[in-house]
Structure 1
Amino acid sequence: MLIFNHSNSVTFALLGIPGLESQHLWLSLPLSSMFLVILIGNGAILFLVATESTLHTPMYLLLALLMMADLISTLALVPKILCLFWFNDKDIAANGCFTQMFFIHGASVVRSALLVAMAFDRYVAVCEPLRYNTILSPSLVGRLALAALAKGVILILPMPLLLQRLTFCHMVIPHTYCDHMAVVKIACDHTRPNRVYGLFVILLVVGLDLLLIGISYALILQAVVHLKSRDAVYKALNTCSAHLFVILVTYVPALFSSLTHRIGRNIPPHVHILLANLYLLLPSMLNPIIYGIKMKEIRDKVAKCLCRETA
């Protein structure tokens, strides 16, 4: 058995999707299409928020930060997969692997934290509309953004640091990217600390964040129940609809992927890996579409830009 020490000086090889290696080129077609949609959709939202002063509100500033997190995650993930699928470029240096891991998982944690901040924003908009601008001041939005960033860095940075202490029995990662658990599984050291910490991060991020989001929407629902006007109820629900759709497309694929990975022992490996890619890319692709459809201000700004171009 070969044992590789000093993991920061070695090179890993990404296998891709086990069992579907012959289909990599065909799989690159939907992947590259999703990549283009993500770049165009998220880039367009960022451009609108940056250039339109009327969109410089807490909700849209948080939305812009969410788009940035999606772009970072996608740019850390997709280019290397396309190089693998198109050119069979499997090699990735250990430092590059750990860096990719940090940005992919870190962006996911930041995205989840921003969804909590956006749930708080929706709570204030529905339950405290007269105090909205007072409560959600620019300084508070800045602190929420910094807290989301700090959470991503603090929780994910120990992952590559813990991996650097390991030795590896072989250097082939049976995955399309440097997923934390995929790298842990090829180590021949005692990996219990890595596994326990990975589970701790999942429980803290998904469990705690979903709990906070649930509390926000429970309070919103309580406030909506006491509204007497049907129009007021509709307006309150419409205010939250886009965020609720984004929560569904973010957490449902992630939870499904996590559950199948842990209890679906009879599920083929390529299904696990396809799901692992899907739960990262699907929210990034659908988020700008959902907000573009549900938010009138964004639709109006897009129509204004298109009319300006055709005039």
Structure 2
Amino acid sequence: MTTLNHTGVSHTVFHLLGIPGLEDQHMWISIPFLISYVITLLGNSLLICIILTKRSLHEPMYLFLCMLAGADIVLSTCTVPQALAIFWFRAGEISLDRCITQIFLLTSTFISESAILLVMAFDRYIAICYPLRYTTILTHRLIGKIGMTVLLRSYCTVFPVIFLLKRLTFCKSNILPNTACKHIVLARVSCDDIRVNTWYGVFALISTLVVDVVLILISYVLILRAVLHMPSQDARLKALNTCGSHVCVILLFYGPGIFSVLTQRFGRHIPPHIHVLLANVYTLAPPMLNPIIYGIKTKQIREQVFHVFFSKQK
């Protein structure tokens, strides 16, 4: 594993270390990674199959949930198999093009999930504030356009990162202290000025995730105002209960995700293994727990899951 220190020579192959400082614990750390990935694949695949095959679930809320489940599978698959290869076989070698591709897929999927959560908040707002117009506003045609907009926004936001990384000369080191390629992690081993990369990363964060969080908060303020004006307590509780799963998923997604992004850019005094562990939390926990949360708190999905597993045994 060689490291070139003179300018003018750029690395085309990098080596992912995994979790720096905890190399001797990689085998044990791989266990929760493997368990969470298996649960993610099974839970989200089951959710997608149930929603797509059951006509009674072809409603906006469940179609958006289907999008979220698909994004969860992509988010985990972008990182966990490679992390397991590092933990088990020390197979951390990755080409520059593959590294940039991983950055593109991982970041765009993360932004897509944020947009889907915003759309789901809008869905709850329409369902509670305009229940009689719910199906006429959120038609299948509009849902399809929303899905395309989510993808286009995430891809267009992340696409410039490819060129920002391609312009750099990586002559400092070819060792990346992480389980996956990240924009700033890769940029920091360059010997060029990376201020444009840093500020574009901040711009992308503010223009997508921060805007999404603000709009989600506004949606729930309007929802709470509508709920408080409902005549009966039962109606208020029923309305709030329909938002419970979504609120849990929002907290689970944005909490570790934003904290990880901020510490990667500004938390230079935090130990490296903490950075890496935090970065892996949002690719492990939300995709694994989202189908469980919706399965437990959503009656229609819970009934369909029981029907799939137990109807043939009767």
Range class of TM-score, shorter chain: over 0.9
SS at match of 1:118: helix
Q: Residue 137 in 1 paired to residue 106 in 2?
A: no
- Paired position in structure 2 for 1:171: 174
* Residues 224, 233 of structure 1: 8 Å contact kept: yes
The aligned runs of 1:67-146 (5 Å cut-off) are 67-146=69-148
Query: Displacement, 1:205?
Result: 1.8
- Paired position in structure 2 for 1:151: 153
* Structure 2: 5+ residue stretches without partners: none
SS at match of 1:19: coil
**Between Structure 1 and Structure 2, how many residues are aligned?**
309
SS at match of 2:79: helix
- Paired position in structure 2 for 1:183: 186
CA distance in 1, matches of 2:160, 2:267: 28
User: 1:139–1:5: structure 2 CA closer, same or farther, 3 Å change rule?
Assistant: farther
Q: 1:203 aligns with which of 198, 206, 212?
A: 206
Query: Displacement, 1:15?
Result: 1.2
Q: 1:309 aligns with which of 278, 289, 312?
A: 312
* Residues 76, 284 of structure 2: 8 Å contact kept: yes
- Paired position in structure 2 for 1:298: 301
Q: 1:22 aligns with which of 21, 24, 27?
A: 24
What is the Cα-based RMSD across aligned positions, in Å? Answer: 1.3
Q: 1:47 aligns with which of 46, 49, 52?
A: 49
SS at match of 2:78: helix
CA distance in 2, matches of 1:239, 1:62: 14
Query: Displacement, 1:236?
Result: 0.7
- Paired position in structure 1 for 2:245: 242
Taking structure 1 as the reference length, the TM-score comes to: 0.96
The structure 1 segments of at least 4 consecutive aligned residues displaced by more than 3 Å after TM superposition are: 2-7, 258-266
* Residues 5, 166 of structure 1: 8 Å contact kept: no
What are the Cα deviations for residues 208-255 of structure 1, in whole angstroms up to 9, with x where unaligned? 000110111111011011112001000110111111111000011113
CA distance in 2, matches of 1:95, 1:304: 45
* Residues 75, 109 of structure 2: 8 Å contact kept: yes
Q: Which amino acid aligns with 1:302?
A: V
User: 1:302–1:173: structure 2 CA closer, same or farther, 3 Å change rule?
Assistant: same
* Residues 3, 170 of structure 1: 8 Å contact kept: no
CA distance in 2, matches of 1:80, 1:306: 32
* Residues 4, 170 of structure 1: 8 Å contact kept: no
CA distance in 1, matches of 2:79, 2:115: 20
User: 1:111–1:5: structure 2 CA closer, same or farther, 3 Å change rule?
Assistant: farther
CA distance in 2, matches of 1:13, 1:138: 45
Query: Displacement, 1:4?
Result: 6.2
Q: Which amino acid aligns with 1:68?
A: G
* Structure 1: 5+ residue stretches without partners: none
Q: Which amino acid aligns with 1:200?
A: F
